[in-house]
Amino acid sequence: MAHLCGLCLALRSDHGQFSRIVTNYDGLIVSVLTEAQAERSTGWRRTAGPCPLRGMRTAPVAKGEGARLAAAVSLVLASAKVRDHVADGDGVLKRRPVALAARRIAGGWDRAGARTGAELGFDTAVLVDAVDRQTGIEALAGPGTPLLTVTEPTETATAAAFAHTAVLAGRPGNMAPLAEAGRLFGRLAHLLDAVEDQAADAASGAWNPLTATGTSLAEARRLADDALHGIRLALRDAEFVDDKLAHVLLAHELRTSVDRAFGTSSCSHVGEASVPGGGNPYGGPGGNPYGGQGGSPYGSNNPYGGGGPAGGNPYGGGNPGGPGGGGPGPLPQPPRPERRGFWAGCAVAIGLCCTCKLCCAKEYEGPWSRKRREGCCRDCDCDCCDCCDC
């Protein structure tokens, strides 16, 4: 939250209130990496005033060159996205007056990002060039085109941004490994967008890299897992002062994003094999871990119907506790705990993050739902993560 608010406030300070709408989670990674490499000093946080998104509370926020670089990158990439939507005629941008206004806004963001980048020694032209090349590559791509040809411009842009964090932090030796981490992060971001949007793009007739190149979900998953592994290796080669947050975001959270996009689940530390069953790691059709056509371990859509022992009922009858049932009646369900409100849940979520319970706890209560959940690394026996030492 400190980095997210720091990015938002850096946008406001350098480029005005309206620019704050380009605040995004991907951009704050730049701020996180800069701070992770920098020597700690008394000037790396400041107290921000009340904000409606924080329930009108003050909060410590990130400040300095990392937040400003994140702001510059976010502006330039948001400008590119606006121009892309204008070119595609998406939504209200089909209307000429709206499209003209959007182009003017995008042009202003380009210039603003370039100014801030120049002050930090970062040439945003590499980002603009990557975006311009993306359009041409997509126009030429077709069945048989390697998917990595389509993701290359995004990889180049994020590699440049990640590498410059090493310059800002005074650690030039980190430029090569962070450039590699940025390249793979850009690849992963592009892949996940393609996977998540494929169905919607097919329905609307929009261009999608997976559909256009004829790339299967299994191949996309293989590329995503390779990128995850490569990012972890690249981060090990870089020198950090405190890399705990960077590790959580670029290892744990990226793995969670991949699992969510492909509809799977895994430990954040363990690599996934290719998923040949359309997103089912067990190889069965329809995402059923038991390999059947339905959602029942007894091979039927109806958990108490046919297809299993004694009609599919694990108790030996057709209906537990009913006619022909051979087992106990339905067990009484405990009342569901009352959900927390939005702000109360946010406060609990922050506390869980700060105490590493989301990662390491055997069991914890969901911040909003209040359901019992397990820490994502509770059963890991690997030693590649030191987050449990905090």
pLDDT below 70 — which residues of the chain?
41-43, 265-337, 354-362, 375-390
- Going by their DSSP bridges, the two strands 57-62 and 372-373 should be labelled as unpaired
Yes or no: say if 71 and 43 are a contact pair by the CB < 8 Å rule.
no
Helix (H) / strand (E) containing 47: strand 45-51
Tokens of 37: 């490499």
The residues near 47 (Cβ < 8 Å, ≥ 6 apart) are 58, 59, 60, 61
Helix (H) / strand (E) containing 45: strand 45-51
Yes or no: say if 3 and 32 are a contact pair by the CB < 8 Å rule.
yes
pLDDT in tens, 213-222: 999 999 999 9
Identify the pLDDT of residue 204: 85
Yes or no: say if 164 and 69 are a contact pair by the CB < 8 Å rule.
yes
Identify the pLDDT of residue 360: 66
Yes or no: say if 49 and 57 are a contact pair by the CB < 8 Å rule.
no
The Cα–Cα gap between 28 and 7 comes to 6
Taking every pair of C-alpha atoms in the chain, what is the biggest distance, in angstroms? 78
Amino acid at site 181: A
Tokens of 366: 């969901």
What φ, ψ does residue 137 adopt, rounded to 5°? -65, -40
Identify the pLDDT of residue 362: 66
The Cα–Cα gap between 194 and 1 comes to 27
DSSP 187: H
What are the angstrom distances between the C-alpha of 274 and each of 23, 61, 132, 213?
34, 40, 32, 19
Collect contacts of 125-128 with beta carbons under 8 A, ≥24 apart. Answer: 126/156, 126/157, 126/160, 127/73, 127/76, 127/77, 127/80, 127/157, 127/160, 127/161, 128/76, 128/80
Identify the pLDDT of residue 335: 59
Q: Please name the residue that has the structure tokens 């990226």.
A: 254
DSSP 250: I
Yes or no: say if 272 and 279 are a contact pair by the CB < 8 Å rule.
no
Identify the pLDDT of residue 42: 57
Tokens of 18: 């309206």
What are the angstrom distances between the C-alpha of 128 and each of 110, 157, 239?
8, 8, 29
Tokens of 17: 């209130």
What is the separation, in whole angstroms, between the first and last Cα of the chain?
19
Identify the pLDDT of residue 43: 67
DSSP 302: S
Tokens of 272: 């996934």
Identify the pLDDT of residue 24: 85
Yes or no: say if 137 and 153 are a contact pair by the CB < 8 Å rule.
yes
The residues near 362 (Cβ < 8 Å, ≥ 6 apart) are 374, 375, 378
- CA atoms within 13 Å, Cβ hemisphere of 101: 7
What is the DSSP track for 345-377? Answer: HHHHHHHHHHTTHHHH-S-EE-TTT--EE--TT
